[in-house]
Amino acid sequence: MSNFPVYSACDLISTENSESEIVVHELQDLLTEKSFIPEKPHRHTFHQILYVEEGAGIHKIDFEDYSIDSPIIYFISAGQVHDLNFKKQVTKGYLINFNAEFFTSFLAKSHCIDKLPFFRINGNFTSYQIKKDKAEELKEIFYKINFEYKQQKRKSEDLIRIYLLELFYFILNDEENTDENINITNQRILINKFQKLVEENYTAEHYPKFYADKLAITANYLNFVCRTFAGKKAGEIIRNRIILEAKRLLINSELSISQISFQLGFEDNSYFTKFFKTHAKISPSEFRQHLNK
CATH at residue 105: 2.60.120.280
What pLDDT does residue 256 have?
A: 92
> Within this chain, do residues 89 and 123 fall inside the same structural domain, yes or no?
yes
> Within this chain, do residues 143 and 65 fall inside the same structural domain, yes or no?
yes
> Within this chain, do residues 13 and 137 fall inside the same structural domain, yes or no?
yes
> Within this chain, do residues 27 and 141 fall inside the same structural domain, yes or no?
yes
Structural domain includes residue 1 = no
Chosen domain end from 176, 205, 240: 176
What pLDDT does residue 242 have?
A: 96
Reported as a single tens digit per residue, the pLDDT across 185-224 is 567 778 888 988 999 999 999 999 999 999 999 999 999 9
According to the 3-state scheme, what is the secondary structure of the chain? CCCCCEECHHHHCCHHHCCCCEEEEEHHHHHHCCCCCCCCCEEECCEEEEEEEECEEEEEECCEEEEEECCEEEEECCCCCEEEEECHHHCEEEEEEECHHHHHCCCCCCCHHHHCHHHCCCCCCCEEECCHHHHHHHHHHHHHHHHHHHHCCCCHHHHHHHHHHHHHHHHHHHHHCCCCCHHHHHHHHHHHHHHHHHHHHCCCCCCHHHHHHHHCCCHHHHHHHHHHHHCCCHHHHHHHHHHHHHHHHHHHCCCCHHHHHHHCCCCCHHHHHHHHHHHHCCCHHHHHHHHCC
> Within this chain, do residues 163 and 108 fall inside the same structural domain, yes or no?
yes
Report the alpha-carbon distance of residue 103 to residue 78 in Å, rounded.
14
> Within this chain, do residues 170 and 77 fall inside the same structural domain, yes or no?
yes
> Within this chain, do residues 200 and 116 fall inside the same structural domain, yes or no?
no
Does 116 have pLDDT greater than 50?
yes
Report the alpha-carbon distance of residue 241 to residue 198 in Å, rounded.
8
The CATH number for 245's domain is: 1.10.10.60
Q: How many domains does the chain have?
A: 2
Residues in the chain, total? 293
> Within this chain, do residues 222 and 267 fall inside the same structural domain, yes or no?
yes
> Within this chain, do residues 187 and 128 fall inside the same structural domain, yes or no?
no
Query: Which of 9-13, 112-116, 121-125, 289-293 is least confident?
Result: 9-13
> Within this chain, do residues 243 and 131 fall inside the same structural domain, yes or no?
no
Report the alpha-carbon distance of residue 101 to residue 24 in Å, rounded.
16
pLDDT-derived band at 41 (thresholds 50, 70, 90) equals low
Query: Which of 113-122, 156-165, 275-284 is least confident?
Result: 113-122
Quick one: what percent of the chain has pLDDT higher than 70? 76
For residues 4 and 39, the answer to whether their CB atoms sit within 8 Å is: no
* Domain of residue 279, residue span: 180-293
Structural domain includes residue 249 = yes
> Within this chain, do residues 97 and 237 fall inside the same structural domain, yes or no?
no
